[in-house]
Structures are given as structure tokens and as C-alpha cells.
Chains A and B, each alone.
Chain A
Amino acid sequence: MALAFDEYGRPFIILREQDQKSRLRGIDAQKSNISAAKAVARILRTSLGPKGMDKMLQSPDGEITITNDGATILEQMDVDNQIGKLMVELSRSQDYEIGDGTTGVVVMAGALLEQAERLLERGIHPIRIAEGFEMASKIAVEHLESVSNKFEFSASNIEPLVQTCMTTLSSKIVNRCKRDLAEIAVKAVMAVADLDRKDVNLDLIKVEGKVGGKLEDTELIYGILVDKDMSHPQMPKQIVDANIAILTCPFEPPKPKTKHKVDIDTVEKFQTLRQQEQKYFDDMVQKCKDVGATLVICQWGFDDEANHLLMHRNLPAVRWVGGVELELIAIATGGRIVPRFQELTPEKLGKAGLVREKSFGTTKDRMLYIEHCANSKAVTIFIRGGNKMMIEETKRSIHDALCVARNLIRNNSIVYGGGSAEISCSLAVEAAADKYPGVEQYAIRAFADALDSVPMALAENSGLQPIETLSAVKSQQTKDKYSWYGVDCNDVGTNDMREQNVFETLIGKQQQLLLATQVVKMILKIDDVISPSEY
């Protein structure tokens, strides 16, 4: 901190604990911020694309995550540096908004900062650079619009959606059976989508995983899967055409919430109390039977006495079902959640074609399938896999695929992947740069260079010669005026992304560019960092 001096040259303190604070300003602050952000981007760079590698992260309590998803990596890394945190948030925003492309956005921001550093060294004002980037991002976003394609799909023709989801999944560890998973994801989204309002509520898709089996065993269940079993081992394991009573009240005598006390002073009174209690149980079960329920799903537990009674009266029951699951069951079966036995009516029961309990392999774990529901607006994706990490990663991948499918339902424009969109933007921005007078021209050109870094990273990760590949594709694009040439990561033999069926959503790409530019501007605009010295 700069010290001020009085007449006699004695320094005096202006800020609290001034000597313990460190301050970086001017170009040094910008340089250190940029290098922090670049360090974060460098970590993610190798995860980009179909041949990208995974990262293994160990949390403080020893839990291990293996993932390829940018947002997850950054979240788990627990970045401490302030600028690094901005990058984490950048990737998180992309995740919230689009769900996919979380690695790409960070790589893009890193590339932009790298270019900005070079310009700063030439003495260009940081805000001029940021403004130039902003102009360039506008050009690029407009250009993306012009090279985008709309594709038609309908409830019966989901092929285009599946293709796009496959592009997303191809960079994940699960790409072995990307076709199957993509189909599952698309079907799940189509099942819950409201095609008229173009809205998809992803809450209605439950993703459940269980260790064991193969990845190929992953299935889509038109109904709900609950990780619970029947409350009594002797209850039937399969119920056809079940009428389900969904309860949020426990199978026990009701208790007033006000503090209360029952004075028992005679044997008779005790007897009546005991009888009354039994009568409660009896009444409850009877009520369920009366309205025609053949299965009871309860949010709370019930004791052995009630359990026995239920068993005895031949009424299967499931206990301790969580609130979210209970709600999903209610939505799927078209039933109502009943808070009190007195309110049970036949109309409030949910209907399911088949309820069955299934056990897995040699383990004793059992799960409850509720299928063929009256209203199939709630579905479950059930993931199987060799180990827990695999399942967690599959869940994340499926989530990405679900988001992509959702975005396509909202807006069915796509651009072609494999870096082709970036290369074509880069060409467009480069060409547009010359029209701008002033310092911004340099920044716009730098933006074009930064755009090249995405296909370069793709080529690098695929083991290709980055510069050779990029220049080859670029020249091809300019020569043929065909903006669908990209990097042939999988060595298929053609670099026409249209033929390879590599799609990405238009809004995802646009969002990436805009978000990256925004954060870069924020970082460039800081010229003064004041922090306690221990940081």
C-alpha cells in the first residue's frame, strides 16, 4: 500500500491493518490475473473433444471423482484464487443455462486472455481490447446464426435429436454406447416435454444409478423407480393394476401438536386406551381397503404392529419414501398425496399397470418398479455400471445429453461441431476486422485468433498436428465456401461435419462466445487488487 508521509517524514496509517495488505496495480495486476485465469484454462484444455482425457479429483474426505465435464472439474478443484473463481463461475453459468459446453467456454476465455496479454504488451488500453472483443463477439454470434441450420423433428422422428445428443456424449467416458444412451435421453425428454409450450421440466426425469451390471443394461423406465422394498418380506412381489394410496401421514395413532397428557388412574382406562390404539390401526387399514387401494406408499414409517396388520389384511406397503419421490409417484400415477386418512377417496388413488420388486444379481438389494402409469409424464433413467465412479460420470453425461435435447426442443437451430463453427466464425471475424478503424481492429483480429484455439485444442487432443490440421481445414473452408468442414477427430476419413453428423446447438455455441467475452472483459477491467497479505 502506498504510504503517506507527514511533515517530518513519518509514515502514517490510513487503512486498517495497512501493512498487512498487499496491493497490485496497473499492468502487474492485469498480468497476474490473466496468468491465473490461463492456468485454469490450461487444466481443462486437454478435456476438450471426443479424444479428450478425464481428470481424477480427490475430495478432502477421500472421495474420488473421475470426470470429463468442465463444470464438475472446476467445482471439485476448489479454486482459491479470485480470478480462478470467476472462471469456475463462468463454467457453472454455462452449465446452468445450457448444460453442455462447459469445457469449451473456459478454453475460449483462456484463449481470449492469452491474446489480450499480447495486446497489453503492445500498450493497448485494456478497455479498448475488451470493447474490441465485444464487437467481435457480436459479429461471431451473428455469423453463427447465418451458418446455422434448422432441423425438423417430431414425436415420431427423433433421429436428429439423437444425433445431436450423440455428439455431446462422444466426448464422455460412456461413448462406447453413446447411441443407446442418446436414445434413452431423447426419449425421456420427449416423454416429459410440453411440445406446444416448448418447455421441458427436467425435474420430472429421475436419474437413478446402481452399481453392478453393464453400462448396456441402462434402461429407460416409463414410470418411477424407488430404491425401497416392501415393508414386510412376505408381501407380494408383484402387483398388477395397482391402486396406490400415497400417504404423508404415519400409520400410528394421531398426536395432537399441542402438549398433552392423558391421566390414567384406573385399569379400565388403561384398557380403553389400549383398545383405542388398536382400533386406530384397524381403522386405518380398513379405510385404505375401503377405497380400494392395493398398495400403500407412505412417507413415514410404521411400527411392527402396523406392519403385521397390513400383512395380515393383505395390503402391501412401502415405507420411508422421500418427499421428492413421493411427488414424482403422485404425478406419474395421477394420484393425489393424501395427508390424512379421513381424506382418502377412490379418486385420489394413483393407478399403475404394474408394480414389481426386482432384485439384482447376488446382492440383497431390491428396488421397486412402478410402471405403466396412468400418466407417463414422469420417467426414470436407470443407470447400471461397473463401479460408483462410472455411474456418477454416466449420470453427469446423461444430464448433459438431457440438457442438449431440452435446448433443441426450445430452439431447433444447430451448428456443426468439430470446430467447424469456430473456424468459420474466425474467418468471418477476421474479414470484418479490417472494416473497423482504430485500435479495436487489433482486438477483433485477436478474437479471431482466439477462436482458432478451440479447433486447435481438438486436433491436439486427437493426436493430430494442430497447425497443419487447422490451416488445411481453414483453406478448405475458404476455397469451397463451405463452412461445415471441421477437425476429423475420430479419423473417419472426411472432415465434412455434416456427413459425420456432428451437431451442436446454436444457443449453446452463442452462449459460449458471449459468456467468455463477458468474463474476459471483467478480468481485463481490473487494474487494482487489494488483498490481505496471506492470500
Chain B
Amino acid sequence: MSTMMQPQIILLKEGTDTSQGKAQLVSNINAVMAVADVVRTTLGPRGMDKLIHDDKGNTTISNDGATIMKLLDIVHPAAKILVDIAKSQDSEVGDGTTTVVLLAGEFLKEAKPFIEDGVHPQNLIRSYRTASYLAIEKIKELAVSIEGKSLDEKRSLLAKCAATTLSSKLIGGEKEFFASMVVDSVLAIGNDDRLNMIGIKKVPGGTMRDSFLVNGVAFKKTFSYAGFEQQPKKFENPKILLLNIELELKSEKENAEIRLSDPLQYQSIVDAEWNIIYDKLDKCVKSGAKIVLSRLAIGDLGTQYFADRDIFCAGRVAEEDLQRVAAATGGTVQTSVNNVIDEVLGSCEIFEEKQVGNERFNIFSGCPSGQTATIVLRGGADQFIEEAERSLHDAIMIVRRAMKNSTVVAGGGAIDMEISRYLRQHARTIAGKSQLFINSYAKALEVIPRQLCDNAGFDATDVLNKLRQKHALASGEGALYGVDINTGGIADSYANFVWEPAVVKINAINAATEAACLILSVDETVKNPKSESAQGEAAAGAMGRGRGGGALRGRGRGMRRR
């Protein structure tokens, strides 16, 4: 009998999970929708936060779509695409990460009944692409340019964009305060692309109103040795020397050994070593600098030597802080103390060591090039400050994008409603299946205002109907109407200064459509169980390594200060 049976051809390794066809497509869509449901409630000014703990005991409280998606640790292959688009939105424009996930989920949800009815996915994909093209064109058409305005006007316009972003965050209560801070800091660094010139420092304690912007650089007091308190803590117009060398008594060569046959020479060796370090210190002093900063350690000898000569010094300054000081003060980081000329020294108007909460901060302000800014964030809890930092990051990105592509559109769902109306209108001119698909694309876009209402606890259907009616007015006067989050009605978003940069919307629609099309075009998943577990291990390994070299503790005979 057995010879009668056809031998089964084994193509793939045992345990490989293959699923294919329509069923696969539908289950992928289900997975994506489940993920989109998780972030759904974070949208908008009445959006809620998520508290996520991982198994290592770290906790994050966040409202930022990209952060949440990253922390969810998604393993489903189709759903992972959503994480990627959230990330790409984050790195491209910095904000609208929730929007993009939501839109992708909604596009697929609208596509699901068609797939179940047997429409070929490629048809859907083609229509979606056309629709997204049309939508983007429409956004460009509707966008209002803020180019050519005076600086003051521009500043207030940018602040409005930042405020819209911040309104959905935890620090929304103080959005005007932070928005102007963000705009000031972005304007300070000008058109420079180096985002790391804006430093954000976090100090627990105080209320968020106590946060402040330093027009220059600020960093926490570094590890210091005895003698530090005797140094002067305030200078006006000091010269600043930036170093990348150790100013410590130490062996000059690691593996060298000195052999002495005559004990009398002993002293000369000792002297020689001391002379090397004294020589270095002396050169620092001779350069005329009043502040000496080094990325590497400045030992107790150096600290006391400088204290004697009324010079302020700080060792082990973090790399990025040192770079920022260099950019701000116009100095250059030196790797040797020989030939220190005036040109490499930086300067600023005022240097001061100040108490901020429980920490002491070194603050350099009034810097000549003024291409840096530091935001010192205060808040009641670590989690709070973390979230505030993420929110400010979003706002900074938005302001930067708005400065570059200076066009804005009305927020609060107004732009989404308008595109939706436009696409519906357009669909009617098409003969064929495509009409249905573009119509459903248009319907999917309405998810933004609908979710805004749902999160705020309003009757979404009611508000949406009002909005549709307003947008359908032939005169076009209703094009700027969006959800009014305070009363549960509708209002002119543009007039109420709910603005977002056009690029956020363009990128969100683009990315969401791409993701939706990608998922629609997949009809088979081959999941190899072994490689997956190997992947897991690799990821765990990388994490383990990352944790290793963290704590760089001050060594030597100094004392640890808070």
C-alpha cells in the first residue's frame, strides 16, 4: 500500500509556518488593526497616555505614538511594518506618529470588506496610490505659506505650530510657555542642521514653569576633587580653553619601565614626572584662559593648581556638552596644550555656577556665535520630565520643519475632512471599480476627526455630520472647519490657530498609504521558527552588551559629590 502513496515533497524545514491566500491577507489586516487600536486613544488634545513597563522594570509613560510602538515589542511580521512607519515619521518630521499608524490601520480596515468580497488587492493598491497622490496635491494647494513675513510675525506663527503639537501632551497646560521656548531655541541655532546644538537637560524638582532656556550652554557640575569649592564661580567675559587631555599626575607611557641603578637619580625621575604635569598646567594658565574644560579628567593636583590661580576648571565634561560649548563660544577643542593661541580660546559674556533644584549647573550665557541653546526642564517626577523631553523634541522638530517648508494647514481634523470631501467629489467622476475604492479611502481619512471626538468623549457621528455639511458648502468657506475640542462642536481651526506644518500631513498620508499597500500586496508569509528564536537571542545579546559600559565612575582619590 505504501508504495501507492505519492511521496510528499518536503520543500521547507519542519516547523515552518506557511499560510497564504486571502486568509493570510485578512489576518494581516486584523493584526494591524489590533495594533492601531492600542495607540488610538492617544490622539489629540484629549488623548490619554500609556504606561508601559517592560520585564526589566523600566517604566515609560508616554503619549508619543513612536515611543509606544517601539515599547510594545511587536513580533507579528505585518504589524511590525506599522512600527517602522511610526519610526520613519518620527525621524522625518518628528510629529504625527500616532496619526500615521491610525491612518494605515483605517485604510486597511476599509480595504478588508473588498478583499473578503474577492477584489484583487492590486486593484485596491492602484486606487489607493492615485488617491494619495490626489490628496497630497490637494494639501499643497490648501497650504498657507508663512514665507516672507517679518521675524516677529514668523515667530508667533511658529509658536502656534509648536503649541498645536504640544496641546496633546502632558505639558499641554503650559503650551504657550513651552512653545515660545522651543521657537526661541530653534531660531537661536538658525538654519544650522545640527540638532544636537539644542541641549535638553533634565533636573527633577520644581514645577514645569521653572523650566528655562539658556541662550548658550548649560551642563551639570561634573565630578570634582578637593579644592574645587575654592575656585571662583562667576566670571564676566572669560576666555575659555577646551581640552581633550588628562590633566593628572600619571605615567606618561603605559608599558614603559624605568630602571635605575643609582638611587640618587630617583629624585630626578620624580621631578621629571611632576614637571610634565606642571608644564601642562602652566601652559593652560599662560594662555590667559579663565575657564578650563576637559573631556577627560582634571585631577586633584590640577584642581588645586587652578584654584590657586583663580581659574575655574571642570573635568570629564560630556563630549556633546563640550562640542556645544565649542560651538557657542567660538573655541576649538585642543588635544595639546602646546601653542595655545588666542584664536582657539572661546569666550562668553557671563559664566556662572548656579543652583538648579538639587544640582549645581555651569551656565555659559551671552555667547558670541549664539548658535546653541539649552533647555533646562523641571518637573515633579522623572517620568514627567522624560515625557516632557519627548514632547519638546516633537515640538522642536515641528518648528524646524515649519521653518524650512514654511507652509501650514489647519489642524483639528479640518484638513482631513477637506481632503475627504475632495476625494469623494473626485470619485464621482470615475467610472469603474476605482470609484468605490477612492470613496473608501476618503472615508478612512475621516478617522482623524472621528477619533478626536471619541477621545474627548463627544458624539462623533454628530460632529462629523456637522463637519461634512460645513465642508460641502459650495462657497468653500467651510474648508477650514475642524473639531472644537472645548465645546464639542465645530470651529474654524485656522482662525483658532490650530495649525500644523503641511509636511507632517503629507508625510503621514504618504507613509500610511505605502504601508497599507505593502500589507495588501502580501499574500503569503513563510515564518521560519528557528531563525526567529536566533533573532531573539541576537537582540537580547545586543541589549546585554549595551548595558555593560554604562557607569563611568570617577576613580582616584577624589570625592564624589552630588
Which residues on A are within 8 Å of B, measured CB to CB?
A: 2-8, 12-16, 29, 33, 82, 85-86, 89-90, 92-97, 125-128, 130-131, 134, 199, 201, 203-204, 248, 253-265, 269, 272-273, 276, 299, 322-324, 326-327, 330-331, 336-340, 348, 438, 511, 514-515, 518-519, 521-522, 525-532, 535
Contact = CB atoms under 8 A, between A and B. Distances in A.
B23 A96 contact: no
A125 B50 contact: no
B41 A336 contact: no
A259 B27 contact: no
Nearest to B26: A7
B91 interface: no
Given A14-B75, A96-B357, A256-B270, A264 B383 contact: no
B370 interface: no
A78 B528 CA distance: 44
A273 B263 CA distance: 6
Contacts of B212: none
Contacts of A330: 226-227, 230
B53 A14 contact: no
B223 to A, nearest CB: 12
A528 B308 contact: no
Interface in B224-267: 225-230, 249-253, 255-264, 266-267
Contact of B170 (A82, A340, A522): A522
Interface in B374-433: 379-384, 387
Interface string B60-74: 010100000000111
A383 B250 CA distance: 41
9 contacts: A6-B27, A14-B35, A96-B205, A97-B357, A259-B251, A260-B260, A273-B266, A327-B226, A339-B304
A7 B23 contact: yes
Interface residues of B, dominant DSSP: mixed
Contacts of B381: 86, 89-90, 93, 519, 522
A95 B205 CA distance: 8
Interface in B247-302: 249-253, 255-264, 266-267, 269-270, 272-274, 300-301
A257 B273 contact: yes
B403 to A, nearest CB: 30
Contacts of A93: 204-206, 357, 379-381
A267 to B, nearest CB: 12
A530 B52 contact: yes
Contact of A258 (B30, B73, B228, B273): B273
A130 B75 CA distance: 36
B258 A528 contact: no
B46 interface: yes
A89 B230 contact: no
A337 B76 contact: no
Nearest to A275: B263
Nearest to A202: B355
A531 B53 contact: yes
Interface in B70-94: 72-76, 79
Nearest to A321: B226
Contacts of B307: 336-337
B207 A257 contact: no
Contacts of B12: none
A10 B53 CA distance: 28
A526 B51 contact: yes
A205 to B, nearest CB: 13
A330 B35 CA distance: 63
B456 interface: yes
A240 to B, nearest CB: 26
B445 to A, nearest CB: 24
A73 B228 CA distance: 33
A257 to B, nearest CB: 4
B530 interface: no
Interface in B193-207: 204-207
B36 to A, nearest CB: 11
A503 to B, nearest CB: 22
B457 interface: yes
B230 A331 contact: yes
Given A93-B379, A526-B48, A530-B50, 17 more contacts: A6-B24, A12-B31, A12-B76, A82-B51, A94-B205, A203-B229, A257-B273, A258-B252, A259-B258, A269-B262, A276-B264, A337-B230, A337-B304, A337-B307, A522-B170, A522-B387, A526-B49
Contacts of B52: 529-531
A85 to B, nearest CB: 8
B230 to A, nearest CB: 6
B37 interface: yes
B41 A326 contact: no
Given A7-B23, A14-B75, A518 B41 contact: no
A323 B456 contact: no
Given A262-B260, A522-B381, A6 B230 contact: no
Contacts of A530: 50-53, 72
B263 A518 contact: no
Given A2-B34, A322-B559, A525 B27 contact: no
Contacts of B51: 29, 33, 82, 526, 528-531
A15 B226 contact: no
- List the 5 closest A-B pairs by CB distance, nearest first: A6-B27, A323-B559, A527-B48, A96-B358, A7-B23
A323 B557 contact: yes
Contact of A134 (B55, B173, B308, B380): B173
Contacts of A511: 206-207
Nearest to A268: B263
B76 to A, nearest CB: 4
Given A6-B23, A13-B75, A530-B50, A263 B261 contact: yes
Choose among A89, A258, A259 the residue with the greatest number of B CB atoms under 10 Å from its CB. A258
Choose among B75, B205, B274 the residue with the greatest number of A CB atoms under 10 Å from its CB. B205
Given A16-B73, A327-B229, A531-B52, A258 B263 contact: no
A340 B274 contact: yes
A515 B259 contact: no
A15 B72 contact: yes
B379 A518 contact: yes
Contacts of A128: 46
Contacts of A514: 207, 209
A528 B27 contact: no
B486 interface: yes
A5 B76 CA distance: 13
B49 A256 contact: no
Contacts of B305: 339
Contacts of A519: 380-381, 384
Choose among B35, B226, B273 the residue with the greatest number of A CB atoms under 10 Å from its CB. B226
A7 B51 CA distance: 32
A348 B304 CA distance: 12
Contacts of A4: 27, 30-31, 33-34
B113 interface: no
Contacts of A528: 38, 41, 48-51
B54 interface: yes
B22 to A, nearest CB: 8
A89 B37 contact: no
Contact of A248 (B229, B256, B300, B387): B300
